[in-house]
Amino acid sequence: MHSESLPINRPFDISFLQNYIDRSKYIFTLFSIEGKIALCGVILIFMVALFAPVLSVYLPDKITGSSLEPPGPTHLLGTDELGMDIWSQICYGARMSLVIGLSVACIAGLGGGALGILAGYLGGPTDQLLMRTVDVLMALPSFPLLIVISAFMGPSILNVICVLVLFSWAKPARVARSQTLAIRDNTYIIAAKNFGGTPVYILRRHILPEMLPILFVLIISITSYAIVAETGLAFLGLGDPTSKSWGMMLYYATSFKAIYFTSFWQWWLIPPLVALVFLVLSLAFIGRDLEQVLDPRLRKNGGV
Amino acid sequence: MNGNDRNTLIYRFVITLLVILAINFFLPRMMPGDPFSTLSSDIEGEDVIIMTEEQRQYFIHYYGMDLPLHEQFFLYLANMAKGDFGQSIYYKLPVTRVILLHLPWTILIVLSATAMSTIIGIIIGTISARNRKKGSDRFMMAGLIAFAEIPSFLLGIILLLIFSVQFRLFPLAGAITPFAHYTSLLDQVWDIAHHAFLPIITLSLAQLTGVYLLTRNTLITVSTKDYIRTAVAKGIGEKTVWTRHALRNALLPVVTRTGFMIGLMMGGAVLVETVFSYPGIGLTLRSAVVNRDYALIQGILLIVAVAILLCNLVVDRVYRQLDPRVTE
């Protein structure tokens, strides 16, 4: 199998990417109905985030109307207490959620994954050190600590991302390590080594293809975790006050005195709530379907 | 699976506790501002000066904040060992008092929610495992999974909007009716239950699906085992087989999860308590962060961390009791 070509010295080959595109098309056909709807939902939110300036007439942080206008023709979803348009806050808020969610997930998922593979491959003290760190990180009460750390670091988007990465790389690292350990001693890896395969070659050819799908599922779940955590922090008043995220909208709406005794909550509190629940549920269903498609054991049982 | 295993467990707990103590101590001290310059302003850079420089120095000295950092740390550890968590600067009470004042409310909702989600989860998990071929089961599963994925505080807002705002069935905030005069004990219990109901439901709904899925999946796995077939062949009746043979074995992972769940809930309770303005430890942590009340933040983090570690130890104990294969 390995003798037909000598890919050892070849630069990164692109056919492996094409392979992935074909596979993702195939995977989509295996999705359940909920999964397909969820994927469309996430794409929709992506589009809203991308075309926010086109979709909304006003800027989210400019006063364009009178205070607390109900939904109407000039302001689609009404205005908040300062007279800012709620629909444009929703559009621009999608950007915040997606940027934070995806960047945390990519850094934590890929970085944690890389550390895990390294630890699993090298073994010894590196492995020990990493695993003890992961143990401690996973035993810490993450949300209370998250609150304190972000209060201490100050409320900027970059800080929120850093703190969330700090708390979410442990799981991908642990999963990647155990996978590497499980794959490492297989006879085909030993064979590849005996044929002169360098560690980089073995990593790219044998370990990464096994690992990427698992990491991808984890990345989706971290995205969702990060979005929820950012919302939670913002909801407590620890978000970036200059940004208009969905969590900040919830924070401003719920801290408005006696909002529940008026009808303001109907257009001020419900839109960000619906948007968040929709996004989180969509990500969850995609993650679930992907897991079922990628894990052959689950597929056989018809999704137990 | 023996004493050695147990030692590593305790060793890990000690390390974790030390890390938490260190984070607890150093982090609040690195926060911007100090408790004497930001007393009534949330806006950064806008210091509300309510005391003269001399007074400020006096208070910094009084609370021992002018000592070198490592001396403060050793002092802190020594006090911690004595159970003295320091003085809350905002509440002007010992931290232990402030925590004891609010902790019962959090324990009330977290424990009730744990009990509720575990019991209901096991029951519907069992029902679902027995009916797993039917359409109703698939429907129930999809619905429950959707519930589990909604973060608990968003679910809390939804429940609050529906039941307290729209239908006015439950109170909007607080743990008891202010200035209430109770005619009887029953009256008081009812008032507390009435206020705690929505927070408990919110926390349990978030955890219910986990218990449900775990019970269902382990039951399905267990029901294919040989000893179940033997039990059925013995003719002891379907009910006995399910409760005595299948469920008892399937409960092991559920028990492990319960301990883990209490930890998660303590974290989630911070947000849920904010939604319902429920005066537990979460709401206190929030006000402590806003007011830069170092000692209180440290105390709360420590209590939460110790509670989580203790839960894990207890779960380990219960697990050993339930599973005769794990012996010391």
Domains parsed from chain B with CATH numbers:
3-81 (no CATH), 95-322 (1.10.3720.10)
Q: Does A296 touch chain B (CB under 8 A)?
A: no
Who wins on pLDDT, B85 or A223? Answer: A223
How would residue A14 be classed by pLDDT, with cut points 50, 70 and 90?
A: low
pLDDT at A304 over 50: no
| CA angle (B220 as vertex; B218, B226 as ends), nearest 5 | 100
How would residue B2 be classed by pLDDT, with cut points 50, 70 and 90?
A: very low
Instruction: Report the number of distinct structural domains present in chain A.
Output: 1
Average pLDDT of chain B is 80
Residue pointed to by tokens 């760190």:
A133
A304 in Cβ contact with A298 (< 8 Å) = yes
C-alpha closest to that of A117 among A206, A203, A218? A203
Cα(B62)–Cα(B49) distance, integer angstroms: 19
Partner B, chain A 34-73, Cβ-Cβ below 8 Å: 34
Residue B23 is nearest to which of A145, A254, A288, comparing CB atoms? A145
pLDDT of amino acid B306: 82
**A256 Cα to chain B: minimum distance (Å):** 13
Cα(B14)–Cα(A216) distance, integer angstroms: 34
Who wins on pLDDT, B233 or B45? Answer: B233
Average pLDDT of chain A is 82
pLDDT of amino acid B119: 92
Cα(B284)–Cα(A243) distance, integer angstroms: 26
Take residue A108 and report the two structure tokens written for it: 């934590």
Cα A141 to the chain's mean position, in Å?
21
pLDDT at A101 over 90: yes
pLDDT of amino acid B37: 58
In a domain, A23, yes or no: no
In a domain, A144, yes or no: yes
In a domain, A256, yes or no: yes
In a domain, A75, yes or no: no
CB atoms A232 and B151 under 8 Å: yes
pLDDT at B71 over 70: yes
pLDDT of amino acid A200: 85
CB atoms A139 and B150 under 8 Å: no
Task: Tell me the mean pLDDT in the region A50-66.
Answer: 83
Q: pLDDT tens across B241-258, in order?
A: 888 888 888 888 888 788
> What's at B260, amino acid-wise?
F
Q: Does A129 touch chain B (CB under 8 A)?
A: no
Write down the H helix ranges in chain A: 15-30, 33-50, 52-55, 86-122, 124-139, 142-153, 157-168, 170-184, 187-194, 199-202, 208-235, 246-255, 265-268, 270-294, 296-300
Task: Tell me the mean pLDDT in the region B61-66.
Answer: 74
**Listed range (B57-66, B98-107, B108-117, B229-238) with the worst mean pLDDT:** B57-66
Q: Hey, of B170, B218, B271, B316, which one would you mutate to test binding to chain A, going by the most A CBs within 10 A of its CB?
A: B271
**Quick check: ipTM above 0.85?**
no
Using the 8-state DSSP alphabet, how is residue A8 labeled?
G
Positive or negative torsion for Cα B87, B89, B95, B100: positive
A74 in Cβ contact with A65 (< 8 Å) = yes
Who wins on pLDDT, A181 or B305? Answer: A181
Q: Say how many Å lie between the first and final Cα of chain B, rounded.
A: 7
Cα(A34)–Cα(B138) distance, integer angstroms: 13
Neighbour count for residue B194 (Cβ, 10 Å): 14
Q: pLDDT tens across A288-299, in order?
A: 888 888 765 554
In a domain, A51, yes or no: yes
pTM, two decimals, is 0.82
How would residue A98 be classed by pLDDT, with cut points 50, 70 and 90?
A: very high
Using the 8-state DSSP alphabet, how is residue A69 labeled?
P
Cα(A115)–Cα(B275) distance, integer angstroms: 38
Residue pairs between chains A and B whose CB atoms are closer than 8 Å: 113
Q: Hey, of A143, A238, A274, A288, which one would you mutate to test binding to chain B, going by the most B CBs within 10 A of its CB?
A: A143
Task: Tell me the mean pLDDT in the region A111-127.
Answer: 89
CB atoms A265 and B165 under 8 Å: yes
C-alpha closest to that of B131 among B247, B233, B219, B226? B219
pLDDT of amino acid A296: 57
pLDDT at B283 over 70: yes
pLDDT of amino acid A303: 38
How would residue A4 be classed by pLDDT, with cut points 50, 70 and 90?
A: very low
CB atoms A254 and B308 under 8 Å: no
Write down the H helix ranges in chain B: 3-30, 53-62, 69-81, 95-130, 135-149, 152-159, 185-222, 226-234, 238-240, 248-275, 281-290, 294-322
Helix B281-290 to helix B95-130 angle (10° resolution) is 130
Contact list in B for residue A265 (CB cut-off 8 A) is 161, 165
> What's at A93, amino acid-wise?
G
pLDDT of amino acid B32: 58
Q: What percent of chain A has pLDDT over 70?
A: 91
For B224-251, b where at least 16 C-beta lie within 10 A, e where not — what string? eeeebeebeeeeeeeeebbeebbbebbb
Q: What is the CATH number of the domain that holds A249?
A: 1.10.3720.10
CB atoms B149 and A276 under 8 Å: no
Cα(A244)–Cα(A251) distance, integer angstroms: 11
Who wins on pLDDT, B173 or B99? Answer: B99
B254 in Cβ contact with B126 (< 8 Å) = no
Who wins on pLDDT, A265 or B110? Answer: B110
**Rama region for A56: left / alpha / beta (φ>0; ψ in -120 to 50; rest):** beta
In a domain, A98, yes or no: yes
How would residue B28 be classed by pLDDT, with cut points 50, 70 and 90?
A: low
Q: pLDDT tens across A145-195, in order?
A: 787 777 777 778 888 898 899 889 999 999 999 888 888 888 888 898 889
Contact list in A for residue B290 (CB cut-off 8 A) is 237
Who wins on pLDDT, B321 or A281? Answer: A281
pLDDT at B35 over 70: no
Residue B270 is nearest to which of A147, A224, A228, comparing CB atoms? A147
> What's at B153, amino acid-wise?
F
Nearest CA in chain B to A226: B151
Q: Hey, of B145, B154, B313, which one would you mutate to test binding to chain A, going by the most A CBs within 10 A of its CB?
A: B154
Task: Tell me the mean pLDDT in the region B163-169.
Answer: 85
In a domain, A61, yes or no: yes
pLDDT of amino acid A181: 87
In a domain, A9, yes or no: no
Residue A147 is nearest to which of B153, B263, B289, comparing CB atoms? B289
Positive or negative torsion for Cα B208, B213, B214, B215: positive
Neighbour count for residue A262 (Cβ, 10 Å): 12
pLDDT at A89 over 80: yes
Cα(A114)–Cα(A111) distance, integer angstroms: 5
pLDDT of amino acid A13: 57
Q: Judging by beta carbons within 10 Å of its beta carbon (0-12, 13-18, 19+), is residue B276 exposed, middle or buried?
A: buried
How would residue A301 be classed by pLDDT, with cut points 50, 70 and 90?
A: very low
Q: Give the structural domain span for A53.
A: 36-66+85-300
Partner B, chain A 261-280, Cβ-Cβ below 8 Å: 265, 269-270, 273, 276-277, 280
CB atoms B19 and A136 under 8 Å: yes
